[in-house]
Amino acid sequence: MDLPQGTLDLLILKAIGLGPQHGWAIAERIQQISKDALSVQQGSLYPALHRLERRGWVKARWGTSDNNRRAKYYELTRSGQKQLDAQSSAWRTLTAAVGLLLDAPEGEAS
Amino acid sequence: VIADLAYRLRALFRRSAVERELVEELQAHLDYAIEKGVAAGQTRDEAERRARIALGGVDQIKEDCREAWGTALVETLLQDLRYGVRIVRRTPLVACTVVATISLTTAALATVFSLGHTLLLRRLPVRDASRLVSVGATRGTARTDGTVSYPDYLAFRDHAKTVTTLAAIYPTAPLFVTVRDTSREINGAVVSSNFFGMMGITPALGRFFRDDEDRVPDRDRVAVVSDSMWRSWFAASPDVLGAAVRINGVDFTVIGVAPPSFAGTTPMPIEIYIPTMMLRVGYRWCDDSLAETCTILSMMGRLAPGRTVGDAAAEFPTLMPAPWVKAPKGENSGIAVTQPQGMTEDSDEPPLVRNLAAAAVVLLAVCCANLTGLLGAQSASRAGEFSIRLSLGAAPRRIVRQVMTESLLLAGVGGLGGLLLSRVFIAALASTFFSVDDEGHPLLYDFGQTPAGMAVTMAAALAAGVAFSVIPALQAVRLQAGGVLKARSISSRWRPRTWLLAGQAAVAVAMAVVAILLVGNVRLMLEGRNYEPSHVALMRVRPRLVKYTPQRAQQFQREAVRRLAAVPGVESVTMVGVGTVLSGGSARVGLPEWPDDQLVRVGYNEVGPQYFSTLRVAMCAGREFDDRDGLGAPAVAIVNDTLARRLWPGADPLGATMRVGTRVCRVVGVVTDVPLASRTKPDEAWAYAPFWQNPGSIDSRIAIRVAGDPAAALPALVHEVNQIDPDVPIAETITLPIRMAGLTRPLRVGATFIAYIAMLTVLLTATGLYGTLAFDVSRRAKEIGIRLAMGAGRSGVVMLVVRQGAGVLAVGAAVGLAIAPGAIGLVGHLLYSRAATDWLYYLAGTGLVVAVGLMASWLPARRAAAVEPLAALRCE
């Protein structure tokens, strides 16, 4: 399923919010949690991560993974956490509103 | 925000590290993906293939990441610049032309900034110069630099509350100074003891005047010397302190040396300072220089903390001495407070600077128009390159930016070149026009460039870069819309570029007319009209400085004339008492029966025998003064043509009587006018009386006509006068042409500057015309080939091209001639030639531009006529 415009950042922030992760693991995590419903375009993952880093929402550091490989780990900063909260509630408001609209019985508006 | 900037800067400057990290990160991603694939049972190769497909194009990701780093703008700029440099190297001639044009143009602009800043804005190089004020007496006229007497100064100084200090200065005192056995007249200053403290300067050596050294008249004979005098007269030795200096015949002791940064308050550098209590030595033209009747001192003050110029301007009139309130016309009657700013002392200079600035801006516009044409032609010939880039997917915006980046690159280099070049111009300007005044005194103007002036110059260069690249850039893109071939067949004769060329030609014509007019007037002034300045040497003899009595002085003068006339090569010798040679004094004259209040003020000189023959001014009637016109003889006068016509219209003035001041004289001669007033002023009326009939004559200016070079003759002439009494100061030893040059400085500065601008505009018009026509000929080679093949004559083809150039020139000349009178009006105050002869200059200016322009059109026309029909057609 394709992601609506602008939701990639939110998903990434959420995935990182669960704990510091490297790029591959972030993509994996999004796919797992959404039960394979959402898949991240791998090509757009890294530019998005770099953009978030520039904005200061995530912080990157080099670390060693469980299989002893050097990897770039991303973690949420304080302003990233705030951003995540704000975007999550905005998303919920939006989906709730869209839901209401879609649940309305047809023919009533006219 | 700061973190964001730091991130971008790191991405920009640690580029390789950041790129390496990205590669490593992507590689790690692939490794995970492959591992997962292998675990799921794929072969390693298969897993790697799938991983790469899933990730997508690595280069694309890299590009997107770079975008995310926020460095894309700078990246493309650098790329455009690199590309621009490559284009520049491929077309060096175009690049050189652009850079040279901008350099020559912005150099003019930067030079005007320097000139204007120094003449109109620069403040004194002292501490907190913006808190200094000039306090000057007004005399019912616009001038506010009127001087006051010492008692008046004291009244202001002791009561003023808006200034913490009020100093008195006589900054241009000619002082005859003797140190050991060297004697020379130099420029000195008489200053109150608080002057140096007010300026906030500290002595380079020794000390300045103490207040108690400026309290009792004639008691404390102390002097401070300037840094340059310390170096040239005392070899920069510390022994200068305590050294004896004889000033105007009185012995002084040097107590200090002024710092090198301070050279005085006027363009005439001050070499030596004495206190106001020694004013009787420093100023010899009043019976008592410290008396209330002797108004010689200027005043400067430093504003008290929190006070403004307005406060001081409000306070000072309340402190005016009682006699000022009911002062007669021409006496001190008011007081004005201004901020000393700029070094100009010539009322012609402020409008001159404004006009030159306007001319420099016009030149900038011409430069933009010219380069628009040049780059337009270049980008048209680059149409192929642009169309390839567009079809490869480059955004039109990107192409526009590319063309503009190239132009800005060239404009920036040109601006730097202009700044460097302007240094040369300013140095030349300073040494040619601003190093000596009209009496031979050395001047010191600081024409240093200011950061603001340099910034504006660079900004102007870059703005020009934008201006001249917008049209070519848009054209480059628009050409693609219609396609190259289609554009090639559109050749309507009057395209925008042709109009731009006509505009350049118009400016060139107007500038050329004004330039030739100004240069012509400079020649007129240096060669003289109705008089001959060449071969005349001048010197000023001032026995008054060493307290000669009139009787002794006149003996001295007679002896000087006798000795000078005997020097080999001397043709005649004469002198002026009141005023200077060919200008200066004034007197009130009229008919004997006129009451005092009807007398008119006219130019007035007291001149010696042979004055008019020495200057080669022709007599209209009667005779000039000779040795008979002495003290015992009847009082006589000579008038010029204008005064004769005013006093005795239609009648013979010879033998008539007239009043000159209080005396009644008989007119013995009428002399032709020497027109030294600019055309915006009426003809000047002049009256002359004999030097020897004024019993008070002491000082004089001597004029000597010699057979050879007057400058070379001067040392021998000075030596001859020195032999009579070596203690009598001789100064202002210059030639009459140098004096006339000094008197016409604004005219000469204007002529030089406008001539430069005119030359550039004519040159630009010619190269613009040449470039456009040559470009046209190369594009129309096919058409011309066909015409030739169809039997058109070669001369017909030449005409075809030349006619196009001639059309541009005709429109330019018509518009240029229409605006020229307005331009001449702006410089009217500098012109001495009669307006009736202006048509000559119109003709010369237009002729010059048309001739150069036709030449520039003929060259490409010849090339067109040389087109081989077959070769031209095969090229397609």
Residue type, B661: G
3-class secondary-structure state, position B406: helix
Cα separation, B531 vs B44, whole angstroms: 107
Which regions of B624-662 does DSSP assign to beta strands (E)? 636-640, 657-660
The letter for the amino acid at A104 is A
Residue of A nearest to B30 (CA): A24
| B100 in Cβ contact with B763 (< 8 Å) | no
Contact predicate B435/B512, CB 8 Å: no
| C-alpha distance from residue B150 to each of B108, B169, B628 (Å) | 46, 10, 43
List of residues 6+ apart from B548 with CB closer than 8 A? B556, B698, B728
Residue closest to B839 by CA, chosen among B517, B511, B509 = B517
Distance CA B521, CA B748 (A): 9
B482-491 long-range contacts (CB < 8 A, ≥24 apart) are B484/B383, B484/B384, B484/B387, B487/B380, B487/B383, B488/B779, B491/B776, B491/B779, B491/B780
Q: Do B7 and A71 touch (CB under 8 A)?
A: no
Answer whether B54 sits within 8 Å of A42, measured CB to CB: yes
For residue range B362-390, what is the model confidence (pLDDT) as tens digits?
999 999 999 888 887 777 777 777 777 77
Could you give the CA distance from residue B771 to residue B370 in angstroms, rounded to a whole number? 10
Return the exposure string of B180-197: e unless at least 16 CB atoms fall within 10 Å of the residue's CB, then b: eeebebbbbbbbbbbbbb
Distance separating alpha carbons of residues A99 and A91, to the nearest angstrom:
12
All residues of chain B having their beta carbon less than 8 Å from the beta carbon of residue A22 are 25, 28
**Contact with chain B for residue A54, Cβ under 8 A:** yes
Q: Is A48 on the interface with B (CB under 8 A)?
A: yes
Among partner residues A44, A46, A56, which is closest to B26 by beta-carbon distance? A46
- The answer on pLDDT for B71 being more than 50 is yes
Question: Residue B109: which pLDDT band, with cuts at 50, 70 and 90?
Answer: very high
Pick A46's closest partner by Cβ from B33, B35, B65: B65
Residues in chain B: 876
Please tell me which residue of chain B has the smallest CA distance to A23: B29
Q: What are the backbone dihedrals phi and psi of residue B224, each rounded to the nearest 5 degrees, phi first? A: -115, 135
State how far the Cα of B209 lies from the Cα of B711, in Å rounded to an integer: 40
Q: Taking CB atoms and an 8 Å cutoff, what residues of chain B touch A53? A: 7
Q: How many angstroms separate the CA atoms of B443 and B439, rounded?
A: 11
d(CA B470, CA B465): 9
- What percent of chain B lies above the pLDDT cut of 70? 96
Which tens digits make up the pLDDT trace of B3-31? 777 777 777 777 778 888 888 888 888 88
Beta strands in chain A (DSSP E): 21-22, 58-64, 70-76
Q: What is the pTM of this model?
A: 0.79
Tokens of B803: 């006619």
Q: What is the pLDDT of residues B489-510, one digit of tens each?
A: 444 445 777 888 999 999 999 9
Residues B607/B625, Cβ–Cβ less than 8 Å: yes
Could you tell me if A16 lies within 8 Å of chain B, comparing CB atoms? no
Asked if A78 reaches chain B (Cβ–Cβ under 8 Å), the answer is: no
Q: Is A71 on the interface with B (CB under 8 A)?
A: yes
Most confident of the ranges A97-106, B183-192, B492-501:
B183-192
At residue B724, the pLDDT reads 92
* Alpha carbons within 13 A on the beta-carbon side of B443: 22
Distance CA B701, CA B731 (A): 9
- Tell me which residues of chain B have a C-beta less than 8 Å from any C-beta of chain A: 3-4, 7-8, 21-22, 24-26, 28-29, 31-33, 35, 54-57, 60-61, 64-65, 67-70
Contacts of A65 (CB under 8 A, 6+ apart): A22, A71
Residue (of B377, B503, B500, B364) closest to B849 by Cα position: B503
Average pLDDT along chain B? 88
Average pLDDT score over residue span B194-217: 94
| Rounded mean pLDDT, B342-371 | 91
| pLDDT tens-place string over residues B402-421 | 888 888 889 999 999 999 99
Q: Is A46 on the interface with B (CB under 8 A)?
A: yes
- Please report which confidence band the pLDDT of residue A107 belongs to, taking 50, 70 and 90 as the band edges: low
Map tokens 């040097």 to a residue.
B254
H helical segments located in B283-391: 309-315, 322-325, 349-381, 383-391
Interhelix angle B451-482/B92-116, rounded to 10 degrees, is 150
Q: Is residue B150 helix, strand or coil?
A: helix
pLDDT digits over B644-701, tens only? Answer: 999 999 889 999 999 998 889 999 999 999 888 888 888 889 999 999 999 888 899 9
Q: Do B68 and A54 touch (CB under 8 A)?
A: yes
Give mean pLDDT, residues B708-735. 91
Q: What is the pLDDT of residues B746-784, one digit of tens each?
A: 999 999 999 999 999 999 999 999 988 888 888 788 888
CA–CA separation, B397 and B489 (whole Å): 26
Lowest-pLDDT choice from B65-74, B314-323, B477-486, B542-551: B477-486
Is the CB of A53 inside 8 Å of chain B's CB atoms?
A: yes
Residues 6+ apart with CB under 8 A from B524: B832, B833
pLDDT at residue B302 above 90? Answer: yes
How many Å apart are CA A103 and CA A98, to the nearest integer? 9
- Rounded to a whole number of angstroms, the CA Rg of chain A reads 17
- Is there a contact between B12 and B74 (Cβ–Cβ < 8 Å)? yes
User: Looking at residue B374, what is its pLDDT?
Assistant: 83
Mean pLDDT for the stretch of residues B236-252: 93
At B240, phi and psi to the nearest 5? -60, -35
pLDDT single digits (tens) A31-89: 888 887 777 777 788 888 888 888 888 888 888 877 777 888 888 888 888 988 998 99
Element (H, E) at B663: strand B663-671
Torsions phi, psi for B139 (to 5 deg): -125, 45
Q: For residues B256 and B224, give the distance between their C-alpha atoms in angstroms, rounded to a whole number.
A: 5
Phi-psi region of B530 (alpha: psi -120 to 50; beta: other; left: phi over 0): left
Measured CA to CA, the distance from residue B528 to residue B534 in angstroms comes to 9
Q: Which residues of A touch B65 (CB under 8 A)?
A: 46-47, 50
The phi and psi torsions of B208 (rounded to 5 degrees) equal: -95, -175
- Cβ neighbors of B552 (< 8 A, separation 6 or more) are B543
B785: pLDDT strictly greater than 80: yes
Per-residue tokens: B222 = 């102390």
Would the CB atoms of A43 and B55 count as touching at under 8 Å?
Answer: yes
Is the model's pLDDT at B617 over the cut of 80?
Answer: yes
Average pLDDT over residues B520-544: 90
Kindly report, residue by residue over A9-28, the tens digit of the pLDDT. 888 888 888 888 888 888 88
Q: What's the whole-number mean pLDDT along residues B277-306?
A: 91
pLDDT score of B479 = 59
**The pLDDT value given to residue B484:** 46
Mark yes or no for CB contact A47/B70 under 8 Å: no
Whether residue A70 lies within 8 A of chain B, CB to CB, comes out as yes
B591: confidence class by pLDDT, cuts 50, 70, 90: very high
CA B868 to CA B782: how far, in whole Å? 10
Indicate yes or no: CB of A42 within 8 angstroms of CB of B29.
yes
Identify the residue among A28, A45, A50 best suited for mutation to test binding to B, counting B beta carbons within 10 A and taking the highest.
A50
Residue B541: closest CA among B729, B776, B779: B729
Beta strands B663-671 and B636-640, pairing class: parallel
CA A22/CA B479 separation, integer angstroms: 50
Cβ distance A46 to B64 less than 8 Å, yes or no, reads yes
The predicted structure's pLDDT at residue B717? 94
Predicted local confidence at residue B413, as pLDDT:
93
Cα–chain-centroid distance for residue B594? 46
Residues B809, B849: contact at Cβ < 8 Å?
yes
User: CA quadruple B478, B481, B483, B486: dihedral positive or negative?
Assistant: negative
Q: Give residue-wise pLDDT tens across range B140-169.
A: 766 666 899 999 999 999 999 999 999 999
